[in-house]
Amino acid sequence: MRTSGWSRGAAGPENPSTLAEAHLALAMAKVYGEWDRNGAEQEYERALKLKPNLSEAHNQYAWLLLLQKKNEAAVKELDLAQAYDPLNPAYPAWQSGLFNWLDRNDDAITVAQKSFELFPDFPIGLMALGSAYAAKGMFDEAIEAHEKLGKMTLDLKSSLGHTYALAGQKEKALAVAAELESQLKVWFTWGLAEIYTALGDKDKAFFWLEEAFKQRHPYIQWIQINPALRPLQDDPRFTDLAHRMNLEV
C-alpha cells in the first residue's frame, strides 16, 4: 500500500543491512501477494531487528499493524519511518493517509503539509490531503487538491472521482469512473469501488470489490479499515468477502 525506495548497499550477503532488506521484501510478498499476515509480521520484525533504522520497514509494518487494528502502534511505526528518513516526503504523506483512515482528519491535514515542505505537491500528499478535506466536508478544498492530483497521474485519479461523488457532483464522478473502467487495470478496481460506494451504487461497488479480490489487489485486505467503504459494511456481501480473506468480522 505504500511504496518508496530503500537503500541498497553493495555489501555481501552477510551484511545485516542486506539481510534486513531481504526480510522486508519477503514480508511485503507475504502480506500483499500471499495474504500471509502472520508470516509477514515475522519477517518485518526480523528486518527491524537486523536494521532498526530501516525506514521503509517501519512504513510497511505500520500498514500491517493498522490491518490488525493496532492503531497506535501503526502511528508509532510511521513516526519512526520519518525519524529515520526525515527528508523523504513519502512518509509524512502516508502518515496523513493513515490518519485519514483513523478519522484523525485535522492531523492528516497537518502532516500532509509536511510532505509538501519536502516535495511541493507530492502526489500521495495531495491524495491524503484531499481525502481529509472531503471527510471534513470541505469539498472545495478537497476538489482543488484532487483535481491537481488528477492532472499529475491517472493512477490516483480515483480520489478525484470519489470526492466528486461525495460533493454531489455525480456526472463528474461518473466521468472519472468511465475513464478508469476503460483502462481495465487491476489497480483501478479499488478506486472504482470507492467511487460507486460514494454514489450509493452498492451493486457496482461490490462488482469492483469482487474484481479486486479476484485479481488480488494489494489493498483489498484493508476493506474493513478504509472509511470510504463503510457504507457497505452492513451488507452481507461485505461480511462474506471479509470471511474469504480470513479477516476478523
CB 145 within 8 A of CB 129: yes
C-alpha grid cell for residue 177? Answer: 469512473
- For residue 2, pLDDT over 90 is answered with no
CA–CA separation, 104 and 209 (whole Å): 25
- Read off the pLDDT band of 18 (50, 70, 90): confident
Phi, psi of 52 (to 5 degrees): -60, -20
Confidence of residue 9 (pLDDT cuts 50, 70, 90): very low
- The pLDDT tens digits of the residues spanning 86-123 come to 999 999 999 999 999 999 999 999 999 999 999 999 99
Is-above-0.85 flag for pTM? yes
Summarised one tens digit per residue, pLDDT across range 135-174 is 999 999 999 999 999 999 999 999 999 999 999 999 999 9
**Greatest CA span in the chain, whole angstroms?**
57
Share of the chain residues as helix, strand and coil, in percent rounded to the nearest 5: 70, 0, 30
Give 210-242 pLDDT, tens digit per residue.
Answer: 999 999 999 999 999 999 999 999 999 999 999
State the burial class of residue 26 (Cβ atoms within 10 Å of its Cβ: 0-12, 13-18, 19+). Answer: middle
Q: Are 240 and 231 in contact (CB under 8 A)?
A: no
- Alpha-carbon gap, residue 103 to 66, rounded angstroms: 13
